[in-house]
Copies of this chain bind each other. A is one copy, B any other.
Amino acid sequence: MISTEQALQTVLNSAQDFGVEEIPFIKSVGRILKEDIKADRDFPPFNRVSMDGIAIDYSSFKNGQRNFVIEGIQAAGSEQITLQNPENCIEVMTGAMLPNNATAVIRYEDVVIENNTATVSIETVCDRQNIHQKGKDGKVGDLLTQKNTIISAAEIGVLATVGKSTIKVAKQPKVMIISTGDELVGVEEIPLAHQIRRSNVFTLVSLLEKLHISSETEHITDDKPVLKSKIEAYLNEFDVLLFSGAVSKGKFDFLPEVLDELGVEKLFHRVAQRPGKPFWFGISDALGLSEQNVYQSVDKGAENKSQKKTVVFAFPGNPISTFVNCLAYFYPWYYKSVGIEQKEENAILAEDVVFKPSLTYFLQVKLAYRFGHLIATPITGNGSGDLASLVHADAFIQLPSAQTEFKKGEVFKIIRYREL
């Protein structure tokens, strides 16, 4: 049995590169940018009027002039015009180019317009006022957004501004989510006394959806030959297999055995944590599969074949075990794979907690902000089977195995699954 730290390091060492694809920028929120975005022009691209009003030659105002005959209008989106007479003015609109020869803008609030003449009603006007200078926010060629950024609405605005209608993003891994366990029936079925409904595949689908990864799902009964033949096919087709169940010590927990027979290298089985201890993790190299299988995957080029690795996360079947392991291991693995450095978030424990076993304890907590402090209040569930307790919490707090008493006010890492 290894520690959570060792397990996480092993998982991170198995990060994979899924390559890059080009997609329409407007479909890219939540995806990982894979190219540097540079300014295609200065920002602003011209001396930009930043207030509706009149544009004048500042030196006329400085020389005491207060009445300016209106020569014309410079609208946003119109070609630049020229102030012909330095003693006149031009009406200008926010977003317009500053007219040639104009050097200051006075807002409508500060002038009175009568008979085509604007009279300035304030005493102080500054040179270059209300002009957003060409290139002030950025120069052509400036790096605006670095590759390896998670694209949010802010990046969408930048991409639109510089004309990147399509962009390069990290390809998502192809993921298959597989539940096992003969006690499981479909969501729409009425379970018999000894049955329960499938739920873990759906929580996993939803957790992956948050990462903008779409996935496929399948349920396989506890039948070793069936399990083996299906997994064999999936290893060729998918980048990641996520299992829920069949990794413990039961008579029908065939999964570790089957994965071994299929040449999937076990990197660890069992992690010193609660819940989620029987977590099995391994990696399959296509070269490790039988020749036949490699050649069956006809849609892959010879070069790809030698690169193809499938990462296998086999989580214990208890709902909270599956849930926390996906957050604590699959999420970091994904972020590492696509080039994102995950920031650690931590919170202040609101109550004393005692946990004796020499295991890392992932405890459900409700989060609250108080005066800039993030407070984590434990939600006591009934062990790893209690899915209902998850809906009352927002995160897990990760209490280290070296400690048995955790005091109110101490700060620990949290793994959040709910924002609001």
* Residues of chain A having any CB pair with chain B under 8 Å: 25-26, 29, 39, 41, 43-46, 48, 50, 52-53, 73, 75-80, 91, 93-97, 107-109, 132, 136-138, 142, 144-145, 149-150, 152-165, 181-184, 187-200, 202-207, 209-210, 222, 248-253, 317, 319, 323, 340, 342-348, 368-369, 371-375, 381-383, 385-391, 393, 411, 417-420
User: Which residues does chain B contribute within 8 Å of A136, judged by CB atoms?
Assistant: 382
- Known A94-B248, A420-B343; contact A26-B154, beta-carbon cutoff 8 A: no
User: Which residues does chain B contribute within 8 Å of A420, judged by CB atoms?
Assistant: 150, 340, 342-343
User: Which residues does chain B contribute within 8 Å of A145, judged by CB atoms?
Assistant: 391
The complex places the Cα of A200 from the Cα of B158 at a distance, in Å, of: 10
The complex places the Cα of A376 from the Cα of B191 at a distance, in Å, of: 51
Residue of B nearest to A48 (CB): B385
Q: Are A386 and B137 in contact (CB under 8 A)?
A: yes
Residue of B nearest to A344 (CB): B369
User: Which residues does chain B contribute within 8 Å of A53, judged by CB atoms?
Assistant: 249
Q: Are B193 and A153 in contact (CB under 8 A)?
A: no
Residue of B nearest to A341 (CB): B420
- Known A29-B206, A190-B163, A346-B369; contact A317-B386, beta-carbon cutoff 8 A: no
User: Which residues does chain B contribute within 8 Å of A184, judged by CB atoms?
Assistant: 77
Q: Are A372 and B346 in contact (CB under 8 A)?
A: yes
Closest CB-CB distance, A335 to chain B, in whole Å?
A: 8
Residue of B nearest to A342 (CB): B420
The complex places the Cα of A197 from the Cα of B162 at a distance, in Å, of: 8
User: Which residues does chain B contribute within 8 Å of A25, judged by CB atoms?
Assistant: 187, 202
User: Which residues does chain B contribute within 8 Å of A161, judged by CB atoms?
Assistant: 196-197, 199, 319, 387
Q: Are A390 and B157 in contact (CB under 8 A)?
A: yes
Q: Are B80 and A46 in contact (CB under 8 A)?
A: no
